[in-house]
Homo-oligomer: A and B are copies of this chain.
Amino acid sequence: MPEFLSLLPPSEALDRWLSYLPAAGPVRTEVLPAQAALGRILAAHATAPEPLPAFPRSTVDGYAVRAADTYGAGPSLPAYLTLAGEVPMGRAPEIRLGKAQAALVHTGGMLPEGADAVVMVEDTQAVRADEVEILRPMAVGQNVIPIGEDVQAGQIVLQAGQRVRPQEIGGMMALGIRQVTVAARPRVTILSTGDEVIPPDATPSPGQVRDVNSYTLAALVEASGGEPATQGILPDRYEALLAAAREAHADSDVVLITAGSSVSARDLTARVIGQLGPPGVVVHGVAIKPGKPTILAVCGNIPVVGLPGNPVSALVIARVFVVPLLRRLLGQTGTPAEPSVRARLTANLASEAGREDYQPVRLTGGPGRQAEPIYGRSNLIFTLSRADGLVRVPPEATGLPAGTEVDVLLF
């Protein structure tokens, strides 16, 4: 228990690490067609070149009128208006509404000049071909979207740092914004180390295991907006690892090194990272389970992470530290709002005071969901495959009793 009290809690470790980086913002930007920007982070504000809508539109099927001509109208005393014509969809009306006149208009159609409200067809009665009875009084602007109700010309409609969702693409299309400047995906190079690690397409001899971390980390980086590159498997030897780390450091925005899991292999990783440039290692060990031996470094403005070699630890640590790092390198702003679901624990979770635990859980049941802990050592990748998400046990808690309502952070 006391060992964790000398280590930084994850949130402090993250803040400390990020404080050594240059100011938040995209590492590079690129210009994309607007409809290809789904999921990307905007690198510049966008302003509306024109108002939306650009003309007053009817929100109903009915008759465009001058509201004043309908004052006092009711079912027993209709207002009689002369029908001046029909507004065709997609064209400016040629009609100019005079006193006591009305024009047939469809939902989304443009109001003719002189009109300031639209009466729903249900509130009218057609009496003769050229006359319509209005059965209720209209207020100015009723059933009309005025020019600029959605956005005004010159208004900032998209913020730098915002993620592009389907509606942002729609908004850009509505305004004729065809190109957009987004943050380039940070290049993340992943080095896997370990004398026992072999490529997945090789057949392991006794004592050997296939590389898992290069692939899980690459997938998480990709899903989090980065551009992963793997650089093969390195032996637990100082010179070889240093050469590979220098190469990765020279042309990446982030370097991830999964250490071997023995103490000597972890020390080797820390020594290599220490050679990549100042300030070097800024956090060595975090009060977290799994993932205590995590190394957080900044080497010449490039963040470098030494991740634990166990697959479960590596993936949890990447989620806790690498995902927020990528947000920062993308210049992403706004509430992170990590996707989660509420569920009730089916069993007690034990934890040590001062340590933040991430417990894999499986969700069961429909609404009123339950979170069932999946136990398994952090060497066992299928522990995470059986789980739907993680429950965080905060450092100040010494566990959570069964029945506690928790947020399950979804994978």
Question: Which of A's residues lie within 8 Å of B, judged by CB?
Answer: 34-35, 38-39, 52-55, 57, 59, 61, 87-93, 106-110, 145, 149-151, 157-158, 165-176, 178, 194-198, 200-201, 203-213, 215-220, 222-223, 236, 260-265, 309, 311, 315, 335, 337-342, 363-364, 366, 369, 376-377, 379-385, 387-388, 407, 410-411
Asked if B178 and A200 make an inter-chain contact with CB atoms under 8 angstroms apart, the answer reads yes
Nearest chain B residue, comparing its CB with the CB of A342: B342
Contacts of A110 in B (CB 8 A): 206-207
A166-B309 contact, Cβ under 8 Å, with A150-B381, A201-B178, A207-B109? no
Nearest chain-B residue to A366 (Cβ)?
A: B335
**Contact present for B54 and A204 (CB under 8 Å):** yes
* Assembly stoichiometry (copies): 2
Query: Which residues of chain B are near A217, meaning CB under 8 Å?
Result: 166
Cα(A194)–Cα(B382), bound, Å: 51
Q: Is the CB of B262 within 8 A of A107?
A: yes
A-B contact pairs, 15 of them (CB 8 A): A35-B219, A38-B219, A89-B196, A92-B207, A108-B262, A108-B309, A108-B379, A150-B380, A167-B315, A167-B384, A170-B311, A173-B216, A174-B381, A338-B341, A340-B341
Q: Which B-chain residue is minimally distant from A364 (CB atoms)?
A: B335
A55 partner residues in chain B, CB cutoff 8 A = 206-207
* B262 lies within 8 A of A106 (CB): yes
Determine whether the beta carbon of A195 is less than 8 Å from that of B157.
no
Residues of B within 8 A of A385 (CB): 157-158, 165, 167-168, 170-171
